[in-house]
Amino acid sequence: MSARPSSVRSGLRVLLGLLVALALVAGCATLAPAAAPSRNSVVAYLDGAERQAESADQEREIVRALEDLRALPPAALAERRYADYAMTPARWTLAELVTRYFVPRSRMSIEPARFYADASDPRAIAVIDAQLAALREHRQAPRTP
């Protein structure tokens, strides 16, 4: 059974219409405005994160690291080292310390260079301050407003 020329033409028109529609959709996707800037990694990780420390020594090391995060430039933060769980000096980077003692609200990882650079943002400083206040008051930090 052979197809009639008019039915083949109408089928080709439908197919051509679909291809044009797909091309337009693909073109719109590339012409769409740029995505909003990515969120601050310090805020994303530490805002409302649960702190898990087992000793006063560990809490003091966390305070030292958070104070550094709040005050030092990214290059200095990358060079700093902190004691591990057993308080062996100079074992962890600041990013490692944060991931070992804090559980963020949603599962994520830290890219150290970005984390250190994001720390100078005013919202990140507010979150760091909230974590420091909670540590000093022996409580968990809530999410910042």
Mean pLDDT of 28-53: 75
Identify whether residues 132 and 62 lie together within a single domain: yes
More confident call, 10 vs 123: 123
Mean pLDDT of 96-117: 98
Q: Which residues is 92 bridged to in the sheet?
A: 82
Identify whether residues 75 and 125 lie together within a single domain: yes
Residue 20 has pLDDT above 60, yes or no: no
Least confident residue range of 36-45, 51-60, 100-109: 36-45
144 assigned to some structural domain:
no
63 assigned to some structural domain:
yes
pLDDT value, residue 13: 60
Instruction: Kindly report, residue by residue over 47-100, the tens digit of the pLDDT.
Output: 999 999 999 999 999 999 999 999 999 999 999 999 999 999 999 999 999 999
Mean pLDDT of 3-20: 52
d(CA 140, CA 52): 9
Instruction: Kindly report, residue by residue over 113-136, the tens digit of the pLDDT.
Output: 999 999 999 999 999 999 999 999
| Main-chain dihedrals φ then ψ at residue 47, nearest 5 degrees | -65, 110
Residue 24 has pLDDT above 90, yes or no: no
Identify whether residues 19 and 86 lie together within a single domain: no
Residue 36 has pLDDT above 80, yes or no: no
d(CA 17, CA 83): 65
Which DSSP letter does residue 92 get? Answer: B
pLDDT value, residue 25: 43
Domain extent, residue 12, equals: 1-32
Identify whether residues 84 and 132 lie together within a single domain: yes
